[in-house]
Structure 1
């Protein structure tokens, strides 16, 4: 459903007003949103010389935070006399990146770089509402259109251009209602995010107790039925699993590709560390395997990345091939559980990161994997540990999906709460 255009008074004197697709019940009979210039809603706060205030930074997700919490190198000038004061209720935006929607509601008093523009709300303006509104695609498109510069890296939206942008705006009570709704949803999303983070931290801590630390032969925590099983045995991984290599078929032959065989490459980095891997960005063909060193590894094979994102691992849910950036391990029956190996590799990430070498792209030499040893228990205990950690992974995945669903819901809700129309010309 598209936004509706309303007019009031005589047709030739009509002032266009827009109605969003979704409106709270108490505003459904009210007038439409009126077109306003942003310069009539916000003034340009230009307060400088207050060098005693803390330095703040604008983050993509966290918004305005103290600079020391931004994890960014402090490149600010020692002379803060030209830095801009911001106060709670302002909206600050990155002048060079507003075309990307790089703005945030201000909840702290402090100083920001002169590279920011500070918008002070005028009377009757609910700035938190506009902080959300400034993230809507229709306004980001306006910010892009009004930004000046020849290429993206030089685009800038100074206040003079910002002030000329027109946007539909509701009354203050409706602004507040929308802001309260979206703010409550943000609180719910943040709480769900913390739940996911807590589960991930719990899994890391549990994994470190259920598996031996470097230099130790027994874990700190054992299941009751295995407490008298004795020390785990140190063995070479190559004695417990068959090591398989990867290869990239020649791209000079199109017939080697798009043949329905899943082929794991560096393009699939985001699909790793999530347990099963069942899909890939690129597929190869039977000809691609027959005319190269590529191998179709069986279902259940455990792979690990030795380049660019070293230590990332997964378990193949179907037969797959891999590029030369990966090593594939087919566990020997009766000796090693593939899911136990997956969790061993996950727990060994600090080791992999430590031994990786290279300046631009980190890599681990093949000899390291040939010599790699792990302390392992008998198969029943392996399976018990793997089942525990895999169940926790399933819980994390379910809670992560809920987190993503909430973010998707917010995005869809915003599309309905703000009018969708062609950019209003000045």
Structure 2
């Protein structure tokens, strides 16, 4: 509780016009029964307060409407076990929710959007963690009476609205970028489905299209073989469809034996490691590279393009996951013999190239949207830190909610 005490003590540097209050002074718990005709909502860390009907995973409720808790527009509902992780949400309209959640109503002194943003900020979540009751994190609970004791730095109402407007604009940009990223993912999936499910191409065993080559790791004790300019691919480098750089590099002295240099454009796949419990990572290299013993490199014989084979493996990932084995020491592995028997629907090289080009364009767009998401998220965190502390003030002529 020392961290909480220190935060509570730091009131001397509050910006002009700001005040420190307990949440109980500006929130009241709503304890009304649900009503017939209102939609059922749920609270999550990632999405906040959302209607259950909008979730991919539908969860039916056995409770009648009056067995739920009523949430009014502008209320904030939270999960008492996960509030310290940001599991709260602002109601955009009236709804009902499980009685296991806590519903708080902000007073007229508080802009609901500002309060929701402030409660999900990192400093506040740390504070909420300190006020939660329980021995271990998985058992923590933030009851309404403890919520009421949590301190918050509160700007004047007009400034709350200006802060909320700035941060909401960033949230809208993040949401638009995420929607574009989702659209790219759907387009990619549609192309692969059309190519591999709606066409009639001759099925060929992957073993007839090339061979799989093993990699190796030089001795860590031999410093002369590490830190050069030769890329060395290992499973943690397999995060994107194309590998452009690696975490570790080798010197030319390491080449030979099990450390083989694969040419630019080589398809690589992870065949050993716990990642195989949930995914089959594949990637092509944008440069000549070596690779470790947990990987295999595909050496085509000219009938199939590496990128096309990669797309086929990605499309069959669920089937491949079913044939992943477990080694005696518990590590997951994908046998080479299994890879050789994978069936590949094989069009001509021109069609393979056209498909590879179309998907590569989408993968490039996905990377760019991913980078933009990181940029916008960084901006949001910086703005939240500055605006919620008062280090930066929003001008009074700023548009408000």
Place the TM-score, normalised by the shorter chain, in its bin.
0.7 to 0.9
Q: Deviations over 1:293-351 (max 9, x none)?
A: 67664443212345323443111334132444x4321223x443322332333333354
Task: Say whether residues 1:18 and 2:14 are aligned partners.
Answer: yes
Secondary structure, aligned partner of 2:70: strand
Equivalent of residue 358 in structure 2, options 388, 392, 395: 388
Provide the rounded CA distance (Å) in 1 between the counterparts of 2:255 and 2:133: 52
Provide the rounded CA distance (Å) in 1 between the counterparts of 2:28 and 2:119: 16
Cα RMSD, aligned residues only: 3.5
Alignment of 1:46-85 (within 5 A): 46-48=31-33, 50=35, 53-72=38-57, 74=59, 78=63, 83-85=68-70
Task: Say whether residues 1:314 and 2:290 are aligned partners.
Answer: no
Q: Deviations over 1:124-170 (max 9, x none)?
A: 21111110111222211211111121111121111211111222111
Provide the rounded CA distance (Å) in 1 between the counterparts of 2:188 and 2:215: 31
Contact 1:331 1:337 in 2 (8 A): yes
Q: Which residue of 2 aligns with 1:255?
A: 221
Task: Say whether residues 1:408 and 2:393 are aligned partners.
Answer: no
Equivalent of residue 376 in structure 1, options 328, 346, 369: 346
Residues 80, 338 of structure 1: CA spacing in aligned structure 2 closer, same or farther, 3 A cutoff? same
Runs (5+) with no aligned partner, structure 1: 1-14, 20-30, 218-232, 422-426
Provide the rounded CA distance (Å) in 2 between the counterparts of 1:82 and 1:381: 59
Q: Which residue of 2 aligns with 1:197?
A: 182
Displacement of 1:51 in angstroms is 6.7
Task: Say whether residues 1:300 and 2:284 are aligned partners.
Answer: no
Equivalent of residue 121 in structure 1, options 98, 106, 123: 106
Provide the rounded CA distance (Å) in 2 between the counterparts of 1:256 and 1:347: 40
Q: Which residue of 2 aligns with 1:97?
A: 82
Provide the rounded CA distance (Å) in 2 between the counterparts of 1:153 and 1:309: 24
Provide the rounded CA distance (Å) in 1 between the counterparts of 2:361 and 2:375: 21
Q: Which residue of 2 aligns with 1:162?
A: 147
Task: Say whether residues 1:184 and 2:184 are aligned partners.
Answer: no
Residues 277, 188 of structure 1: CA spacing in aligned structure 2 closer, same or farther, 3 A cutoff? same
Q: Deviations over 1:211-250 (max 9, x none)?
A: 3437711xxxxxxxxxxxxxxx55432233221235789x
Provide the rounded CA distance (Å) in 2 between the counterparts of 1:170 and 1:283: 52
Displacement of 1:105 in angstroms is 1.0
Q: Which residue of 1 aligns with 2:3?
A: none
Displacement of 1:80 in angstroms is 6.5
Displacement of 1:357 in angstroms is 7.4
Residues 357, 48 of structure 1: CA spacing in aligned structure 2 closer, same or farther, 3 A cutoff? farther
Runs (5+) with no aligned partner, structure 2: 1-10, 392-401
Residues 195, 17 of structure 1: CA spacing in aligned structure 2 closer, same or farther, 3 A cutoff? same
Secondary structure, aligned partner of 1:58: strand
Task: Say whether residues 1:134 and 2:82 are aligned partners.
Answer: no
Provide the rounded CA distance (Å) in 1 between the counterparts of 2:319 and 2:340: 15
Provide the rounded CA distance (Å) in 2 between the counterparts of 1:290 and 1:177: 63
Displacement of 1:78 in angstroms is 3.8
Provide the rounded CA distance (Å) in 1 between the counterparts of 2:319 and 2:12: 64
Displacement of 1:200 in angstroms is 2.1
Provide the rounded CA distance (Å) in 1 between the counterparts of 2:14 and 2:311: 55
Displacement of 1:90 in angstroms is 0.6
Aligned residue pair count: 369
Displacement of 1:380 in angstroms is 4.4
